[in-house]
Amino acid sequence: MNFEKFTFRQIEADTEIKPFDCGDPDLNGFLFDDAKNYLDVMLAVTYLLEDNEANKTVAYYCLLNDKIELDPDERSKWNKINRKIPNNKRYHAYPAVKIGRLGVSQEYANKHIGQMVLMQIKMIFSRMTLSGCRFITVDAYSNAVPFYEKCGFHCLSDKDINEPTRAMYFDLMYYKK
């Protein structure tokens, strides 16, 4: 696939959103109906991956601030996270950026676009110095959990194992090294 024909850009109030359908009405609806409103009220920022030749939206994602924090009922999972932080810097919560939505157009499915988007997010936040950010989080649809696991994410809790979404995280220190 020729990735040179693609452009990443941030949504602005006057951005024209090119045709997009990922097959999920909730994800499609967010892009067309809510993304600009979230930007306007400072809740999330949405980014587009566009195919300039086909004049279509290939994928999009939105980001917002988050944190992961200690759940006393999940001490073993928390200890696994906490062991990677130096003793004198351990807290009950750590800063994160959350992927609020991530969708890939059905036309571009199975072409590693989602993995490319996650790689970009990981690289940006592992090198960004505007604020501290140790983790990437996502509330993954249960059918997307294997995709995120393949991309290095881990489930934050076992409490949500039978829920429609699972809280997951990625440690950005993996990219810092």
CATH of the domain at 94: 3.40.630.30
**How many folded domains does the chain comprise?**
1
User: Which residue, among 27, 17, 164, has the nearest Cα to 106 in the 3D structure?
Assistant: 27
Supply the pLDDT for residue 129.
Answer: 74
pLDDT tens string 109-164: 999 999 999 999 999 998 877 788 999 999 999 999 999 999 999 999 999 999 99
| Torsion sign (Cα): 78, 64, 46, 163 | positive
Domain that holds residue 89: 3-176
Q: What is the rounded CA–CA span in Å between residue 169 and residue 171?
A: 7
Residue 90 confidence (pLDDT) above 80: no
pTM to 2 decimal places: 0.91
> How many Å from the N-terminal Cα to the C-terminal Cα in the chain?
29
